[in-house]
C-alpha cells in the first residue's frame, strides 16, 4: 500500500507540475460541454420557406400566416413562379417551397377540397423528413380549423382535443437529451487520452527504465498510474453535473451516489483501455492516433447521436462491445428517469466484466514489454 501511495504522489506532482496540462484537464471539458450541448442537435428550428401563392385569397394568406407563425419556420420571401422558387433551393437560399394552387379558397368553399404542394430540399434525408413532418402538421391543423368553420353546428370546436404529456423531458428539449451523453463523452476523452499518453511519456523521457529496476510490482505500477486520472475524471464529472444543473437546468433525478459508483467502474474501463494502448506504442503521437481511432468508433456507435436500434444488425452486434454505449444509456436513465440499480443491472455487470478484463489485459501487456 505504501508503494502505491508513493507512486500516486509522484503522478499527482507530475500532472500538476505541467502548467499546460491543467487547462486541458479542467477548462477544455467545460468549454466542450457548453458548446456541444447547444450545437450537437438534430432538431430543425429554422426551416426557410418560400411561398408561391397562385390564389392570394384570404384562406391562402391564412395558411401562409400559420407557417410564418410557427417557431420552426422562417419566411424567406414570395416567388412569382416555380422556376424562381426552384432556383432559391438550388442556391441554398431556402429549404422548402409552399405552393398554393389557383382558386384555392373557391375550391375549399364549393368543392370542399383543395391542393397544397410542399417541395422540400432532401439532400439531408433525416432533416427533410422532419421538415416535411412539421409542414404536414401545420397543413393538417389548418384543415381541421376549416372543417370546424364550415360546419359549426356539427363541430362545436375541434372534433378531438388532444392533450399530450411527455415523461422525463416535458418540453421536448434536445439539450436535455444530449447533456448526459456529452458528459460521458468528456470523461471518456479525458480519461483515455491522459492514461494513454502517460506511460508513453515515461518512455519518451527515459524514466521508465528507472522505474523498471525498482522492486515495484506490475499491478502496483498500473494501479498507481490509474488512480490519479480516475480522480481527475471524477472531478470533471462533478464539474459537468454542476453545469448541467445550474446552466442547463438538468438535475440528477436518480441517486447521485449510484451515478458516481457506476462512473467509477466505467472509468476503470476507459483508463485501462488507455494504458493498454500506451503499452502498444512508443511515442505520444502514436498513442494519440490510436486512441482517437477507437474514440471515433466508440462515440459514433454509442447511441449518443443516433439510436442504436436504427443501426443495421451487424452494427448492433459491434455496439455490444462498446463500453461508451453502456454508460451513456445508464447515465441517461439515472439523470433523466431516476432509474435504480435493478433497471440497468445487466448493463452494469457487463461494464464490470469489461473493467476487470481491460485491467488484466493492460497489466499483462505491460509485463510482456518490460
Report the DSSP pairing between strands 96-100 and 116-120.
Answer: antiparallel
Report the DSSP pairing between strands 96-100 and 73-78.
Answer: unpaired
HSE, side-chain direction, 13 A CA sphere, residue 211: 23
Q: Is the pLDDT of residue 23 over 70?
A: yes
In terms of Cα–Cα distance, which of 27, 21, 67 is closest to 48?
67
- Strand order of the β-sheet with 116-120 is 73-78, 47-53, 96-100, 116-120
Q: What's the mean per-residue pLDDT of the chain?
A: 83
pLDDT at 200: 78
pLDDT (tens digit per residue) in 249-307 = 888 988 999 999 999 999 999 998 988 888 888 888 888 888 889 888 898 888 888 78
Using the Cα atoms of residue 232, residue 192, residue 360 and residue 280 in order, give the sign of their dihedral.
Answer: negative
Which cell goes with 348? 452494469
Q: Is the pLDDT of residue 51 over 80?
A: yes
Which cell goes with 249? 437546468
Going by pLDDT thresholds of 50, 70 and 90, the confidence category of residue 369 is very low
pTM listed for this prediction? 0.77
Please state, for a pLDDT cut of 70, what percent of the chain lies above it.
89
User: Which ranges in 69-124 belong to alpha helices (H)?
Assistant: 82-90, 104-110
Mean pLDDT (whole number) for 321-331: 93
Which of the residue ranges 13-17, 132-136, 174-178 would you say has the lowest mean pLDDT?
13-17
Rounded to an integer, what distance in angstroms lies between the CA atom of residue 146 and that of residue 60? 12
Please state, for a pLDDT cut of 90, what percent of the chain lies above it.
21
The cell 389557383 sits on which residue?
A: 102
Mean pLDDT (whole number) for 241-250: 90
C-beta of residue 275 within 8 angstroms of C-beta of residue 203: no
* Helical pair 218-246 and 28-39, crossing angle rounded to 10 deg: 50
Angle at alpha carbon of residue 227, lines to 222 and 231, rounded to 5°: 160
Which cell goes with 106? 373557391
Rounded to an integer, what distance in angstroms lies between the CA atom of residue 244 and that of residue 33? 9
User: Which ranges in 72-217 belong to alpha helices (H)?
Assistant: 82-90, 104-110, 125-150, 174-205, 207-212
Mean pLDDT (whole number) for 336-363: 91
C-beta of residue 103 within 8 angstroms of C-beta of residue 55: yes
Which cell goes with 179? 447533456
Which cell goes with 184? 460521458
C-beta of residue 164 within 8 angstroms of C-beta of residue 238: no
Q: Is the pLDDT of residue 157 over 60?
A: no
Q: Is the pLDDT of residue 212 over 70?
A: no
CB atoms under 10 Å from CB of 7, counted, come to 21
- Could you please state the CATH topology (level 3) that the domain comprising 47-150 is classified under: abc type-2 transporter like fold (3.40.1710)
pLDDT at 150: 63
> Of 29-43, 146-160, 214-228, 231-245, where does the model show the most confidence?
231-245
Going by pLDDT thresholds of 50, 70 and 90, the confidence category of residue 162 is low
For the chain, the structural domain boundaries read 2-40+171-369, 47-150
Amino acid at each position: 500500500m505504501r508503494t502505491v501511495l508513493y507512486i500516486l504522489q509522484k503522478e499527482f506532482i507530475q500532472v500538476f507540475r505541467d502548467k499546460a496540462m491543467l487547462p486541458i484537464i479542467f477548462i477544455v471539458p467545460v468549454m466542450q460541454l457548453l458548446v456541444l450541448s447547444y450545437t450537437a442537435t438534430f432538431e430543425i428550428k429554422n426551416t426557410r420557406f418560400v411561398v408561391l401563392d397562385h390564389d392570394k385569397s384570404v384562406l391562402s394568406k391564412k395558411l401562409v400566416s400559420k407557417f410564418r407563425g410557427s417557431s420552426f419556420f422562417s419566411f424567406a420571401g414570395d416567388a412569382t413562379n416555380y422556376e424562381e422558387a426552384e432556383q432559391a433551393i438550388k442556391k441554398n437560399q431556402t429549404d422548402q417551397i409552399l405552393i398554393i394552387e389557383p382558386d384555392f379558397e373557391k375550391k375549399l368553399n364549393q368543392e370542399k377540397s383543395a391542393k397544397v404542394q410542399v417541395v422540400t430540399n432532401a439532400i439531408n434525408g433525416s432533416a427533410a423528413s422532419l421538415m416535411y413532418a412539421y409542414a404536414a402538421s401545420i397543413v393538417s391543423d389548418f384543415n381541421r380549423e376549416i372543417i370546424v368553420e364550415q360546419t359549426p353546428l356539427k363541430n362545436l370546436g375541434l372534433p378531438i382535443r388532444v392533450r399530450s404529456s411527455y415523461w422525463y423531458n416535458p418540453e421536448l428539449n434536445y439539450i436535455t437529451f444530449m447533456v448526459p451523453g456529452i458528459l460521458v463523452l468528456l470523461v471518456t476523452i479525458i480519461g483515455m487520452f491522459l492514461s494513454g499518453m502517460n506511460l508513453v511519456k515515461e518512455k519518451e523521457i527515459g524514466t521508465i527504465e528507472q522505474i523498471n529496476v525498482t522492486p515495484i510490482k506490475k499491478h502496483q505500477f498500473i494501479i498507481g498510474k490509474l488512480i490519479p486520472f480516475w480522480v481527475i475524471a471524477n472531478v470533471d464529472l462533478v464539474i459537468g453535473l454542476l453545469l448541467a444543473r445550474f446552466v442547463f437546468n438538468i438535475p440528477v433525478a436518480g441517486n447521485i451516489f449510484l451515478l458516481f459508483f457506476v462512473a467509477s467502474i466505467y472509468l476503470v474501463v476507459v483508463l485501462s483501455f488507455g494504458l493498454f494502448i500506451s503499452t502498444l506504442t512508443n511515442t505520444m503521437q502514436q498513442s494519440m492516433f490510436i486512441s482517437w481511432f477507437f474514440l471515433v468508433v466508440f462515440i459514433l456507435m454509442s447511441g449518443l447521436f443516433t439510436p442504436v436500434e436504427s443501426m443495421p444488425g451487424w452494427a448492433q452486434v459491434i455496439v455490444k462491445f462498446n463500453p461508451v454505449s453502456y454508460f451513456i444509456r445508464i447515465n441517461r436513465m439515472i439523470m433523466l428517469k431516476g432509474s435504480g440499480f435493478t433497471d440497468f443491472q445487466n448493463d452494469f455487470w457487463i461494464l464490470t466484466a469489461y473493467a476487470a478484463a481491460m485491467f488484466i489485459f493492460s497489466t499483462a501487456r505491460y509485463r510482456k514489454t518490460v
